[in-house]
Chain A
Amino acid sequence: MASFKPTKIQVYPKLGEKVTQDTLYWKNYKAPVQIKEFGAVTSIDFSPVTPHNFAVTAFTRIHIYGPFSQEPVKSFTRFKDTAYCGRFRSDGQLLVAGCEDSVVRLFDVSGKVALRLFKGHTKAVHLTDFTSDRYQILTGSDDYTCRLWDIPNATELTTYTEHTDYIRCGVTSKLNRDLFITGSYDHTVKLFDARVEKSVITMDHGQPVESVLLYPSEGLLVSAGGRHVKVWDLLKGGQPLVSLKNHHKTVTSLALSSNGQRLLSASLDRHVKVYNTTNYKVVHNFDYAASILSLGLAPDDASIVVGMTNSILSIKHRKNQEDSKEIAGQQRRRPSYRVFVKGKNYVPKQDDYLVSKPVKEHLAKYDKQLQRFNVSKALDTALGTYIRFRKPEITVAVIKELDRRGTLKNALAGRDERGLSQLLNFIIGNLVDARFTPVLVTAAEMILDIYQSVIGQSPVVDRQLLRLQDLVKREIEFQKDLLEVLGMLDTMFASSLPRKEVPCSGHFEKERCKF
C-alpha cells in the first residue's frame, strides 16, 4: 500500500540576482546610519590604530567619528575655506588636511589648533598624505605641483612640477619612505621617487584621474578616472593589467577590502561595486541615494562609510555574527520548546533496543482534501488568502493537479458571486505570469464555459470579466510587439554572424537557450 503522494509544487527559478557567498557577505550589514554633514563629503579616512576612528572631510570641517557613536568624537573647524583630504598618520596621532586656501594644516588628533601650517602652494590643495617614515608630508595642489614637506621644520623639501593639470589624488608607499604616486587631471598617474628629481614611472589613464590606490603588496596600482577603473602592474614598469568599465558615471573613490580579496569602487552613478581581485568580476553592488564622492572601509570590513554630494554620510556597520544567530534562535523557540525537545536529544546506548515509530507524514490541507477527492474544498483551501497572495505557485499547482485528475470543472463549478470573484481576481492577477499562463488559461476557459449562462447577473463578476478581457487583449498586443522585436534582432544577428562554409550546404543556427 503506497502512501498518498502529495501534490508536486513546481519550484520556479528565482528571478533577480543570484544569492552568492559574496552577496551574503556584503548584505550582512545593518541598516545604514545617516548623518547630515555641512557640505559634500569629499574624503573619508580610517585611523590605522584601534578603535579605528575615521575622519570625514566635509565643507570647512573635519569630523572624527568613533566606531559606535553617531556623534563626532572630535571636530576640526579652523578652516578658512573648504577642507580637503583629511588623512591620519600611521600611528593615528596626527592628521593632515589640505584646504581651498592653499594652506596645509597639521593637527594633533587630541588637540584643536593646527600644530603646523605649510604654506607654499598657490592654489587649493586636494591631496595630502604622510610618508611612511612619518616625518614628511606629501601634498598635491591645483597649481599642478606636488611637494614634500618636513614636519618638524614646516619647510618645503622638494617640488615636482611634472603634472600639467590639477593634482587631485595620490598615495604614499607604506613600505618605502621615498615612493609616492600622484594622479592628475592631465590623465596621468606618476610614480615619484624622492631620491631623484623626477618621476620614475608614468602611466596614462586616459581620463582625469580621480583616485589611486595601492595594493598592500604595492605591486599593483589601481587608478580610477572617468568611467574606468584600471589596474597597473608596477613591478612590470607600469603595464596596464585590467581596465574595468562597470560604472556609467565618473568613478570617484576606491577602497580595498581588508583581506585584499575584493576591490570596491564608488561612483557618481550612486553605486558602489565590489570586484573580485582574482578575476575582476563584479560580485556585488550597493545602491545609494546620491552621487558618491568618497568611500571608506574599516579594517575587517567592520563598516562601510560613504560620503555623498548631498552632504549625507552613510555608515553601515557589519552585523554581529553571534547577535544575529541568537536572535534567530530565540525567535524559533516557543514556550513549549522544552517539552517538545524532551527526550529527543537522547543518544541511545549500545545495547538499547530501538523501537522505530512510523514517521507520521504531514500533508498540506489541500492535499488532505485531494486525498478525500473533495475537489472544491481543495481548491478553496488553495485559494486561501495567504497562499493566494504569497505563494501563487501552490494555488496554480493545485489547479494543475485538479486538471490532471479531470475534475477541474467540478471544482470550479457551483461557486457563488464571492467565490467566483475571488477566483477571477486570482486569475487576473497571475494570468500574464509566464510560469502560470498555461494552467490559468485552461481554468479561465473553463470558468467562461461554466458561467456563461449567468453573465450579466452580477455586476462584480461582469466587471472582472471585462478586466480579464482587457488584460488578455493587452497581453496579446504586448506579445506581438515582443515577437516583432525578436524578429528584428534575429535579422541583425543573422547579418552579423560570419558566414562559415560547411562541407555540405547546411544552414545552422546557434543559440544559447536558458532553462
Chain B
Amino acid sequence: MRVASHSHRLDGSAGGCGTVNGAQTAWDLLHEEAMFPRITTSCEDLDNILGGGINCKEVTEIGGVPGIGKTQLGIQLAINVQIPVDYGGLGGKAIYIDTEGSFMVERALQIAEACIEDMSECGGLLRKDFQAFQLKMHPNNILENIFYFRVCSYTEQIALINYLDKFISEHKDVKIVIVDSVTFHFRQDFDDLALRTRLLSGMALKLMKLAKDFSLVVVLLNQVTTKYIDGSFQLTLALGDSWSHSCTNRVILYWNGNERYAYIDKSPSLRSASAPYSVTSKGIRNSASNCKRIKSGVVHLVISRVGHG
C-alpha cells in the first residue's frame, strides 16, 4: 500500500490525455524544436549533413584520431555559440572543460578574430544588426564569454559536472558545454571496471539532463583507439562498450587520403552521410578542394537564416 505523496492533478500542459504529468505531446515538441536553432560549425558541408549544425537539447559525441581536428572544432563551436542567432549562433556563452590541456588560448583568439572578420564582410547586408554586432563583438569579449575549466582527474571531472547544474542556473546565458576529451581520465589505471561503467553512465545521464533542462548544446570529444576485432586491428572510439550508447548523436572524424572527413555514425533523425572539412588558420572551414570561396559560403548561410526569420 503506497501512500500517494505527490499531487496527481492532471496537468493541463501534458496535452494528449494527461496520463503522465509533465509529459509533452509530440506535436508540442515538434514546434518547440523549431524554436531552437542549431550552431553552425563554420563549414557549410558539415552543417548540411548535420541538418544545419549541432543541435540543442542533445548530447553530440565527436570522435577521431589525434590530429584530426577535434579540439579545433571544439574551439570553433565555443566561439560560434556567441554569434547572434541570425548568423548561425545562439548569442550565448560557452563552457569549455579541458581534461587533457589541449585548449590553446592563442588559437582561440585567432579563430575569434577570423570569425569577426567574416561577420563584418557580410554585415553590410543587414546594416542595423551589423552596427549593433560591431559594438559588442571584439575578440576580447569573445574570449571573456568562454568559461574555461581544467580538470586533472576523473573525480574532478565528475565533481565539476555535478556542479554545472548550479553554475548554469546562475549563468543562464551559457548555451554550450564542451568536454575535451570526455573519456581521457577514465582510461588509465582503473582497477574496478564495474565502478568505471557506473561512473561513466551516471555522468552521461547527468549531461543528458543538463542538455534537456537548460536547452544546451552538449558536445563531447572522444579519442579513438585500436581494437582487435575479427582478426584485425580496427579503430573504435575509446571505451566503446560501456560508453557508446551514452550520446544522442555521434560524429566520427577520419582521414580519407589527405582530406579530413566527418561521418554521421548515430542520430535519431539524420541519415548517415559524410562531408569533407578543413582546418585553416581561420578555424574550421569548407574543404579547399571544393573550390568554394569562404566568403560566399558564409553569405549563403546568412541568407538562409534570414529567410527563416
A, B: real partners: no
Residues of A at the B interface (CB closer than 8 Å) are none
